[in-house]
Amino acid sequence: MQDCIFCKIVSGQIPARIVRQNEKAVAFLDAFPLAAGHALVVPKAHYQKVQDMTPADAQAVFQLVHKMVGRVESATGAAASTIAVHNGKEAGQEVPHVHVHIIPRKQGDGAGPVHSMFKNRPKPSAQEMDALAEKMH
């Protein structure tokens, strides 16, 4: 896609600190990191949402995520990391190209668990939970 910043990084039109890649995905340092060492993994092909990816591209992205997590933690001295995907604008996706955040985490970094993001949580009944689970089969 012509105006996509991640497509421009993949094609070399925009410089990035690329740290690793495979045939279908690339990992690079986030230009606006939430923590030192914050990396992104993106498919080389343009997809807006995870479910839009081909199985081969999805596999390549998550294989690269798998390889990068330990490298990010080791390079930053972090004992843990948050791995996040914002899948669509309403979920907080700022660049409409699938990207997986790998954010190294340390004690006292000021960030919390994913549950801390949601202030207005639903309280579904057991029946509502069962109905949702059935719809997802």
* Token duo for residue 124: 């579904």
Chain centroid offset of residue 105 CA: 15
| Cβ 28 vs Cβ 40: under 8 Å | yes
Chain centroid offset of residue 72 CA: 14
Reply yes or no on whether 115 is catalytic.
no
| Cβ 102 vs Cβ 81: under 8 Å | yes
| Cβ 40 vs Cβ 17: under 8 Å | no
Catalytic residue (one of 66, 86, 97, 99): 99
Catalytic residues: 99
